[in-house]
Structure 1
């Protein structure tokens, strides 16, 4: 079974606009426990991404997100892509997050944590999968 990006992505994404403030989004990130917030236009087209690394810069809380976000090109992956496509993009560009799109609009986000969770789930399934008995028959003496 091939696993698609849409199978492991986070669909309910907190988003920002270019003119939200850094201070406001810093609070959102802390409260929600997220490390990246996609920045979108009015039609949910990705314009950039604000990451916890961007927030480490010395900027006023009143600074607009567009001044500190990682801008275009935003690395995106279509939601129906196989997960290896997303993994390759993230590895090749040293990304911890990639924006998931459908017809160029944001529909989710995928992080390295989502991949780790997938690996852990498959490890559990493999570890607990039924195995053949080592007994070669049911002969009793």
Structure 2
């Protein structure tokens, strides 16, 4: 079973509109103990995200650039033009990062983690096919897949991987799971089947590592020319 974003996301999500004033956005973050909120239009479609960092730019630029007599170098002004514009913003529309980084409910945890890494974000907005807000998935949520019970992981490996996904004789395979680390032991007919079993087990949600102690009766690994 591949855990989907819909299985772990937070659905009770607070949001703001593009017209929400700066102070109201700040109060929303504080009151709900969150570090960012999606910005949605009147139809519930996500148009951006406002984070604590977006709000703090106002104080940052007040301190750095608005001191009496201070004029930052041209290169600095150009590099920080977008941040400066946000610092001068008064509403969520001025402050938000757009477009928001989103995922559909059908995305897997692995896909969500890859997007977070590629886009360097701590959370993803979950939307439906029309771009409407459904939920939020954070890095903290993604970690939930690694706290599965060892017995539950072992059960999935035996019932889903060994008995259904792997078209091979697996009655001689032993499965042991301790703190998410899976040890596969026993004997299989072919080396290729043993290798496939290990690869499939690595994909099971909650598996931290796989210790391969499988043996096989036939080494059917291809022999490359020149070896």
Partner secondary structure for residue 70 of structure 1:
coil
Normalising by structure 2, we get a TM-score of: 0.51
Distance in structure 2 (CA, Å) of the matches to 1:127 and 1:96: 30
| Map of 1:110 onto structure 2 | 137
Q: In the alignment, what sits opposite 2:52?
A: 52
Looking at secondary structure, tell me which structure has more helix per residue.
2
Could you list the runs of 4 or more consecutive aligned residues of structure 1 that deviate by over 4 angstroms after TM superposition?
A: 127-132
Gaps of 5+ in 1: 133-141
SS in 1 for 2:26: helix
Aligned to 1:135: none
Pairwise CA RMSD:
2.3
For the residue of structure 1 that corresponds to 2:58, the secondary structure is coil
Deviations 1:27-64 (A, max 9, x none): 1211111111000111111100011111211168x811
Give, in whole Å, the separation in 1 of the partners of 2:93 and 2:110: 31
2:105 paired residue number: 79
Displacement of 1:128 = 9.2
Q: Distance in 1 between matches of 2:142 and 2:112?
A: 10
User: Equivalent residue for 1:88?
Assistant: 114
- Give the aligned partner of residue 67 of structure 1: 94
Which has the larger Rg? 2
CA distance in 2, matches of 1:33, 1:127: 35
- Alignment-derived partner of residue 136 in structure 1: none
Q: Compute the displacement of 1:127 (Å).
A: 8.3
Deviation per residue, 1:74-103 (Å, 9 max, x gap): 111100121111111111010111110111
Equivalent residue number for residue 126 of structure 1 = 150
Aligned to 1:11: 11
Q: Which runs of 5 or more residues in structure 2 are unaligned?
A: 60-86, 155-175, 178-227
Change (3 A) 1:31 1:4: same
What is the number of equivalent residue pairs in this alignment? 127
